[in-house]
Structure 1
Amino acid sequence: MNHLKSIFTLAIFMFLSTISWSQEKNVIITIDTLTNEVYMLTGQGGNIGLYVNATNSFMIDDQFARLSPKIKQAIATITNQPISYLFNTHMHGDHTGGNAEFNTNKTTLITQDNVRKSLEERLIEKPELSKEILPEISFSEELKIYQDGETIMAFHVHNAHTNGDAMIYFIKNNVLHMGDTYFSGRYPYIDLDNGGSVDGYISAQKKALILIDELTVIIPGHGRPSNKKELSTYIAMLEDIKNNTLKAIESGKTLEQVTTDTTISDIYDNDYGTGFINPEKLRSTFYISLKN
């Protein structure tokens, strides 16, 4: 019996390993050139931002640890300059998983204060992880870095996707990395368990809208590069679904009723509801967030 159990366990392990290896093998890191100095790298996980100047580079998010060799190869096709600064837009593993692989003695890792706390908790839960996942610098509300004529402004937006979201704006290049406070072309994931909220999410996007202009290139946390017009449309969509959800709550509808009520979001479902967050999950999230 134990022998059969061992064989079964080994088979499961080999199966899972094959899936993991296959997924890693099939991931291709693609590069979008947004300006002469700013790039977006897409692979598996959150979109990576890369700013390159004459002496160094600045990286935003790093996806999963297992993809780090591929990401480094992709970056090498753009520049051989060292990564002086690495920034995490928030705490989720598809944006911070490669921290230890990129946070070398030449690199300074920066996060919002709450992200640092989350990563400290991750170390406690998984002590086998490297301490290099932790940032050397954290900030509360705003931080500016000056790089060869470019001003890089990072600012915290409260209780949006999580409790530790930050956007990064390259002022001269006019590129804004919004992290997961924007899922371009798809419904957003609002992590209620980690401090996210519908009101905070919409407020964060409105803050971005005030900052940018019609020529700004937006790097979303997921999806294709975007712009002010598309973000404005996205905000209007979220506000409409929010108002429909509030009306349903005021009429006494339950969570189950709102989740199954297609009229709340149906005019947007074909355009935005085919991603990770389907219409039912979105309506559920809106109800729970707005009911509290």
Structure 2
Amino acid sequence: MENLDMTRRNFLAATGVLTAGIIAFPHELFAQKTSPVITIINAAGKSPVSVTKLRGNISVIEGSGGNIGVFAGENGKLMVDAGIDVSKDKIRKAMAGISSKPLKYLINTHWHFDHASGNPWVHQDGATIIAQEKTKTNLMKTIRVEDWDYTFKPLPAGGIPTVLFKDEHHLKFNNEDILMHYYGPAHTDCDISVYFPHADVIHVADTFWNGYYPFIDYSSGGSIKGTIAAAVVNVKKIGPKTIVIPGHGPIGNRAQLSQFADMLQEVHHKVATQKKQGKSLKEVVASKPTKSYDAKFGNFVIKGDTFAYLVYKGA
């Protein structure tokens, strides 16, 4: 994992979050001059990407926003998420290094720019795009994400998913039964998991940030309670040897998923208890409800105070 870790550090250094903790909300508590979306896009344009092979012909590309899963075989290649569009040349090169077979499918785990803004070029390269039906809805409209201080415009027609499902979808490809499952509102309103049973590898996307506090997008139907529910489902549905691809962070396992779920539940309990007592946002943030977890989970985009705010917002 050394190359993967170096790519992650390069990306963090480029965004400034290793030292400055630039991404924070809301504005009245945590001032920022530039939307983190702009900062992250600019960083992705500079950051290298790297490939880590897992098992069962599945690899992970990291360095362009969310982690990208790649499944290669006799019939071609399948991607899980497309990264940020400014990284397309680097991702294309990485894909060619994995396999010379044609690109056939792209599965979107949700609509966010760091996972789906690459949709148009991936479709142009030959991929049919599969997604939960709300992902299509979100990608076709203008969405203002208040906590990112950014307004997203609809994707071009070529980037819109054409194979849609509501709750479950099965795809037979490269002699593998690929299973997609909709969580319900969690990180957004359209998050799914993608499971490769033969390899026992699951991509849970942004329902799991391995070693980091997660973002919850309330502007597009996200929910702290749904995020907790998704984390609990993830722990229950996998085995001790399952390889877990998170949306952000290093490749994980069941034990790390369990630690993440425990953190979410404890912080939510602390914040919700105080909110029920009538304490204000500033009072709750000042009480440092994440303090015991900050050393482990507070070293990426979202710091402890920011996560306390996100939990308070939906508690």
2:200 equivalent to 1:174: yes
Q: Which position in structure 2 is the counterpart of 1:44? A: 64
- 2:96 match: 76
> How far 1:105 moved relative to its partner?
7.0
Letter in 1 for 2:300: G
The TM-score normalised by the length of structure 2 is: 0.81
Which residue of 204, 228, 245 maps to 2:230?
204
Q: 240, 250, 255: which one pairs with 1:229?
A: 255
Structure ranking higher on relative contact order (CA contacts 8 Å, 6+ apart): 2
1:121 maps to what in 2?
141
Letter in 1 for 2:83: Q
Question: Number of residues paired by the alignment?
Answer: 269
Q: 2: distance between equivalents of 1:232 and 1:117?
A: 32
Q: Which stretches of structure 1, 4 residues or more, deviate above 6 A after TM superposition?
A: 19-22
Moved more, 32-41 or 243-252: 243-252
8 Å Cα contact 2:56-2:198 kept in structure 1? no
- Deviations along 1:231-264, whole A, 9 cap, x unmatched? 01111111111111122123221111112211x1
Tell me which of 151, 167, 188 is aligned to 1:162: 188
Q: Which runs of 5+ in 1 are unaligned?
A: 1-18
Give % identity.
Answer: 29
Does the C-alpha gap of structure 1 residues 265 and 139 become closer, same or farther in structure 2, counting only changes over 3 Å? same
1:183-202 paired onto structure 2 within 5 Å: 183-202=209-228
CA distance in 1 between counterparts of 2:271 and 2:137 reads 33
Q: 1:148 and 1:254, CA in 2 relative to 1: closer, same or farther beyond 3 A?
A: same
Q: Look up the match of 1:284.
A: 309
How far the C-alpha of 1:20 sits from its partner, in A, is: 9.7
| Structure 2 CA distance for partners of 1:217 and 1:259, relative to 1, 3 Å | same
Q: How does 1:137-152 map to 2 (within 5 A)?
A: 137-152=163-178
| DSSP 3-state at the match of 2:83 | coil
**Among 27, 52, 61, which residue is 2:47 paired with?**
27
Q: How does 1:54-65 map to 2 (within 5 A)?
A: 54-65=74-85
User: Is the counterpart of residue 107 in structure 1 residue 127 in structure 2?
Assistant: yes
Q: Which has the higher helix share?
A: 1
Cα-Cα RMSD: 1.9
Q: C-alpha separation between the residues in 1 aligned to 2:272 and 2:113?
A: 32
Q: 1:52 to 1:270 in 2, by over 3 A?
A: same
Match of 1:95 in 2: 115
Q: Counterpart amino acid of 1:166? A: I
Does structure 1 residue 270 correspond to structure 2 residue 295? yes
2:23 alignment counterpart: none
Residue identity opposite 2:304 in structure 1: P
The letter of the residue matching 2:231 is: Q
Residue 268 to residue 69, structure 1, CA distance change in 2 (3 Å): same
Larger Rg: 1
**Could you tell me the TM-score, scaled by structure 1's length?**
0.87
